[in-house]
Structure 1
Amino acid sequence: MNDKKYIKNIIDSRLSEVHISRDFAEKILAKPLYKKRIIRKSLAFSIAICICAFLSVPVIAANISNIDHLKYIIGTPIFQFLQPVELNSEDNGIKMEVIAAMNDDTTAIVYLTLQDITGDRIDKTIDLYDYSINGAAAFTHELVNYDESTKTATIRMIANGGQKLNGKKVTIRVRSFLSGKQYFEQIDTHVILSNVINKSPKVIPLDMNNIPGGGGDLFSELMEKGIINVLNVDEKSIELPNIDFVKITNIGYVDGRLHIQTKWNPTKDDHGFLYLVNARGNSVQPSNVTFGIDNHGGTTYGREYIEYIYDVEPQEVSSYSLYGTFVKNNNYTEGKWATTFKIEAVDKSKKVVKDVASGDIKLDEIIIQPLGIEIIGNIKDLDRLNIEATMKDGTKITYNHAVKDSMNGERHIKYFPTSPTKIENIKELRINGVPIQLDGHE
């Protein structure tokens, strides 16, 4: 199995992690958001959670303050960049504390904790569902640490819009979260594809500019087409073993590619994907599109259906088995948690390098800042950028892809380092092994 593509599909299946602020969406689309956890591909805006999650650490004394605990978790090199906040909000037996924050001209990072004072609703699978950072265009989050003895989760939020937030009051709101996740991995569906495929199925048109999201290697191609064909809905009803929140509703070949349509129950962010595996263990990972159905049987904006698309020839299908990976959320907790504080850029220094050629990749601009490196240009293959900085003391800092944003045909990609960096201490920067001249300053 291709592990890289397998992980990529797990990330694609979580595109609902992306949050786009209501004000930002309304200004561009002039219509309300459909749902809090849905990415609008019509904005050509997407986020993937930073893969460089901090390592978990042993439980420490329960009476230590959250800010001291955070320093212990993330280490002094990162902690020294933080602006202490230490503001609490309590509701429904759960306490939220915004511990600290840091900001540069493009990115804000906020550390907060959630602690269950009265029950067991917080665990190591906690996932914020409805949350916001006012003034930020888009945001995501990740779990940094879970302390089982105190039932406390430490969470890192990452937001775009750093320059707009400088010196402004920022309100962090959490209205609901998920926990109690169940993982169903490498589930054999026992579906014999050659017996159920319709090679001439009925199809219906789908407007790719009116869907909540999608993913995979073929997604850009499908977006460029504007209108694509998907399978007519609900022509089959195939249950999956031990899975009660999704079923297969159609399988067929559309425009030379295998389509497998699924219908999802209206749950709180249960998710997953289907993939193909042959006898040698080689896998074919899908691309996918998400849509809904109106009262007349036509496609519309919605999350009810996900159609998976595979580049597999009809004569090859019989050599593949259909597997799935899914996640179910058993707990959904609501409340009103909010804190407001002023956020400042802890270090406004930056270095700008323009018109960079790195192998066959042409970059319009590289902006190096303490919290990361922003790459601007027409970059199609995000996985091709391997970024490493060597500091003057010989320390090497690696950068992992975290946030991407496309506007006006130009892609902005923010890569986060293993720890914030002092710009003046960078001796050398390499992208895909190619050294980048760092003479430009701003």
Structure 2
Amino acid sequence: MAWDEATGTVTFLCTVKTMDGSPIPTGGKMTFSVRQLLTGKKAMEGVTVDLKLTNYAQEAETALTWGADLPAAGVREPEVTYYSATGGSGDLASVMLQPGEVLAEPAEGLPITAAGYADGLFHIQLCRGDASRTDNHAFLWMEDADGREFHCTGISYFTGETAGGRTDYMDFLFAVPPEELAGCTLHGNFYTAATLTEGLWQVTFPLENTD
């Protein structure tokens, strides 16, 4: 893809083939259309995150997720409910940490908003903003002093409209006990985008076989 700022033209390279490998039938037409463009993409890979993991070697506060048990009688229900991005009843979902203040921001638009233990696993929570519009995302891992890597699983949640707009979170879950955190550092690959442009652009062209 190329962008000509002087003319305001975007050029796409399209390669077309038939499903069975037969020659493309000539004489027909094809319409290529674009409804959304995600621009200003950035990738930061192999980043060492400035977060002292031993500061979060204790149980952390968890959030109310849809499908979970409501607070006991007399306990005020939280104003925000979080929904599992994988759908379903939520019965099989892991707990989510309660988002808080920014603990670190390894990439612009991807702050870490919580860390600590829940259900025996060490959580690192990343706020993705409205991921349905920018697709901001990351992959995290931990390394010990010998360079051994600890990989994780992730769970995704998002806020509903009652929270004033959608915000996506991902909790990364590590099976690392508290006594091993002292020798570990956090690392990640981070991917962000700046602008989502929406519209409808299309062009129709004749089909020709170039073989």
> Same fold, TM exceeding 0.5?
yes
Which residue of 44, 47, 53 corresponds with 1:184?
Answer: 44
Structure 1 unpaired stretches of 5+? 1-90, 109-168, 215-222, 344-442
State the Cα distance separating 1:256 from its structure 2 match: 0.8
Summarize the Cα distance change of 1:195–1:96 in structure 2 as closer, same or farther, 3 Å threshold.
closer
Is 1:275 aligned to residue 135 of structure 2? no
Distance 1:340 1:226, change over 3 A: farther
Change (3 A) 1:292 1:227: same
- SS of equivalent to 2:146: coil
Q: Does 1:314 align with 2:187?
A: no
Separation in structure 1 between the aligned mates of residue 193 and residue 41 of structure 2, nearest angstrom: 4
Question: Alpha-carbon deviation of 1:229?
Answer: 1.6
- Label 1:237 to 1:224 Cα distance change in 2 as closer, same or farther (>3 A): closer
Please show how residues 104-183 of structure 1 align to structure 2 within 5 Å: 104=20, 172-183=32-43
Query: Displacement of 1:226 after TM fit?
Result: 2.5
**CA distance 1:342–1:204, change in 2 (3 Å):** farther
* Displaced runs of 4 or more, over 6 A: 340-343
Is 2:126 the counterpart of 1:262? yes
The one of 155, 171, 174 equivalent to 1:289 is: 155
Q: Percent identity?
A: 24
In the alignment, which residue of structure 1 is the partner of 2:104?
239
Question: What RMSD over aligned residues (CA atoms) do the two structures have, in Å?
Answer: 3.8
Name the residue aligned to 1:193.
Answer: 53
Larger helix share, 1 or 2: 1
For the 8 Å contact 1:207–1:226, the answer to whether it is kept is no
Kindly indicate whether the alpha-carbon contact (under 8 Å) linking 1:263 and 1:305 is maintained by their aligned counterparts in 2.
yes
Aligned length: 177
For 1:288 and 1:181, the matched residues in 2 are separated by 23
CA distance in 2, matches of 1:211, 1:338: 35
C-alpha displacement at 1:277, in angstroms? 1.0
Instruction: Say whether the 8 Å CA contact 1:202–1:232 is kept in structure 2.
Output: yes
Deviation digits for residues 102-160 of structure 1, max 9, x if unmatched? 214xxx9xxxxxxxxxxxxxxxxxxxxxxxxxxxxxxxxxxxxxxxxxxxxxxxxxxxx
> Aligned ranges for residues 422-433 of structure 1 at < 5 Å?
none
Tell me: CA distance 1:290–1:171, structure 2 relative to 1, closer, same or farther (3 Å): farther
Q: 1:202 to 1:333 in 2, by over 3 A?
A: closer
SS of equivalent residue, structure 2 residue 181: helix
CA displacement at 1:326 relative to structure 2: 0.7
Q: Which runs of 5+ in 2 are unaligned?
A: 1-6, 22-28, 69-82
Q: CA deviation at 1:194?
A: 1.0
In the alignment, what sits opposite 1:338?
202
- 1:39-71: CA deviations, max 9, x gaps? xxxxxxxxxxxxxxxxxxxxxxxxxxxxxxxxx
Aligned partner of 1:88 in structure 2 is: none
Aligned partner of 2:187 in structure 1 is 323
Query: Greater RCO between the two (CA within 8 Å, min separation 6)?
Result: 2
Partner of 2:80: none
Note if contact 1:206-1:229 (Cα within 8 Å) is conserved in structure 2: no
Query: Structure 1 CA distance, aligned partners of 2:162 and 2:38?
Result: 34
Q: Relative to total residues, which structure has the larger strand share, 1 or 2?
A: 1
